[in-house]
Amino acid sequence: MLERLTQFHGKRGWLIFGVLSLAVTVLIPVLNGLPKSFPLSVPDSMIPLMGKFLCFGMAAIAMDLIWGYTGILSLGHSLFFALGGYAMGMYLMRSIAGEGVYRSNLPDFMVFLDWKVLPWYWHGFQSFWFAMAMVVVVPGLLAFVFGWFAFRSRIKGVYLSIVTQALTYAAMLLFFQNATGFGGNNGLTDFKRLLGYSLQAHATKRALYIATAIALVATYLIARFVVTSKLGRVLRAVRDAELKTRFCGYESTRYKTFVWTLSAVLCALAGALYVPQVGIINPSEMQPSNSIELAIWAAVGGRGTLIGPLIGALFLNGAKSFLTAAFPSAWLYVLGGIFVLVTLFLPRGILGLGAFRRLRRAAASPAEATLSPVVGSAPAPSEAAVPAVAVTAAAGGEVPAP
């Protein structure tokens, strides 16, 4: 058991992990509780914003499982995110039945549309636990069925990306319809209480932030467990040489479906935590740009590292919040510019930078080089390939093939 834990991280890694986890789950809420005059105090307005970022961080880790480790670029993860959000939104709407603008037992938008009875698929959502089950079950089931058929048909690479994008787009159009029964264009909003606590109260916001931080830490640990298991090694094998993996006797379809479904469920949980903190869920959450942004977070941070996409999500969203306030028109150029720069100069993302520096240091002092001397005598397959693999080796061998 202990040995398994050391596979997660080395001693230093666990230390960093512990410090960061405590900082995000305990320190920030404590700082927020300090009086406003205190220099390090975190203002109340920051708490929901940071909670939102942490939700994006969860989604980015989920994305890394499927893209960084398994090599499947999904452009459908905003769908799973939104489905989780909608399930949470439905609970928030139903739990305040009778307190809406129209004092009706139905959600306001249904009264507005002159609906008399609750659609069948809204039943049960007045219960928090039922709604939480649906947060997992609906996106999980959709991902499982979609993944099973897509992977069984050996749909790969850019084709799979397009199919996932199309699925998300179709779902968006469906949710835009009033007749679908999820509030159409406006989505679900005007939430009041979660489990009886007012969403307007700051204490609730802080509790939601803490819940999100804990969920993020848990997501990271689950993902870490998966990628350091033998299954994780099979996933990377599928990414690098799927046919060979099949000849080794691993049914790659099942492995891909498993990680796809897991990734979708983690993403949906992030969506469910996101909705009460931003106060609205509508179909624009499923628009293509959202899925693409999710991929950009992972690429900028560094795929196949778990921590990289998390950093990417926090960094880019922080920059987005700041820049869209300071220079509203500049943000898209900045995002595009960052993406181009990372693609050209940092194929391993921000985390690849550290690995590269380590390699330079190793090259400067050959005695410290970690690579086996035999490697040096080996005939280089090609000039370009060797440095790329060498960087990988220095990074711990968990970076996807170029």
Partner 1 sequence: MTAIPRDTEPDATAVPAPSDESVPTKPSVSVTSPEPPPQPHASADPGPIGLWVEELTVSFDGFKALDHVTLILNKGELRCIIGPNGAGKTTLMDCITGKTKPDEGHVFMESRALDLTELSEVQVAELGVCRKFQRPTVFPQHTVYENCELALKVKGGRGVFRTLFARLDKADRARIDEVLETIGLADLRSTPAGLLAHGHKQWLEIGMLLAMDPKVLLIDEPVAGMTQPEMERTAELVQKLAGERTVVVVEHDMEFVRSIARKVTVLHEGRILAEGPMAEIQRDPRVIEVYLGT
Figure out which of the listed residues 103, 123, 202, 244 binds partner 1, where binding follows CB under 8 A: 244
Figure out which of the listed residues 379, 382, 383, 384 binds partner 1, where binding follows CB under 8 A: 379
Q: Which of residues 318-377 bind partner 1 (CB under 8 A)?
A: 371-372, 374-375, 377
382: left (phi over 0), alpha (psi -120 to 50) or beta: beta
Within 13 Å and on the Cβ side, how many CA atoms surround 377?
3
Of 240 and 368, nearer to partner 1 (C-beta) is: 240
Give the closest residue to 342 by CA, choosing from 314, 321, 312, 322: 312
Of 83 and 390, nearer to partner 1 (C-beta) is: 390
Binding mask 212-241 for partner 1 (x = CB under 8 A): --------------x--xxx-xx-xx--xx
Residue 368: other Cβ atoms inside 10 A:
10
Of 170 and 248, nearer to partner 1 (C-beta) is: 248
**Residue 383 interacts with partner 1 (CB under 8 A)?**
no
Least Å from the CB of residue 108 to partner 1: 44
Is the CA virtual torsion 376, 379, 385, 389 positive or negative?
Answer: negative
Figure out which of the listed residues 35, 39, 158, 247 binds partner 1, where binding follows CB under 8 A: 247
Say if residues 324 and 331 touch (Cβ distance below 8 Å).
Answer: yes
Of 49 and 222, nearer to partner 1 (C-beta) is: 222
Say if residues 64 and 262 touch (Cβ distance below 8 Å).
Answer: no
Burial of residue 195 (CB within 10 Å: 0-12, 13-18, 19+) is exposed
Alpha carbon 201 to chain centroid distance? 27
Number of residues that bind partner 1 (CB under 8 A): 42
| Token pair of 242 as six digits | 């799927």
**Residue 399 interacts with partner 1 (CB under 8 A)?**
yes
Within 13 Å and on the Cβ side, how many CA atoms surround 400?
24
Of 344 and 374, nearer to partner 1 (C-beta) is: 374
| Token pair of 128 as six digits | 């928090």
**Residue 245 interacts with partner 1 (CB under 8 A)?**
yes
Of 64 and 398, nearer to partner 1 (C-beta) is: 398
Binding mask 253-292 for partner 1 (x = CB under 8 A): -xx--x----------------------------------
Of 285 and 398, nearer to partner 1 (C-beta) is: 398
The C-alpha atoms of residue 204 and residue 390 are separated, in whole angstroms, by 49
The pair phi, psi for residue 38, each rounded to 5°, is: -65, 135
The C-alpha atoms of residue 153 and residue 149 are separated, in whole angstroms, by 6
Residues lying near partner 1 in the complex (CB under 8 A):
4, 226, 229-231, 233-234, 236-237, 240-241, 243-251, 254-255, 258, 371-372, 374-375, 377-379, 381, 385-386, 389-390, 392-393, 397-401
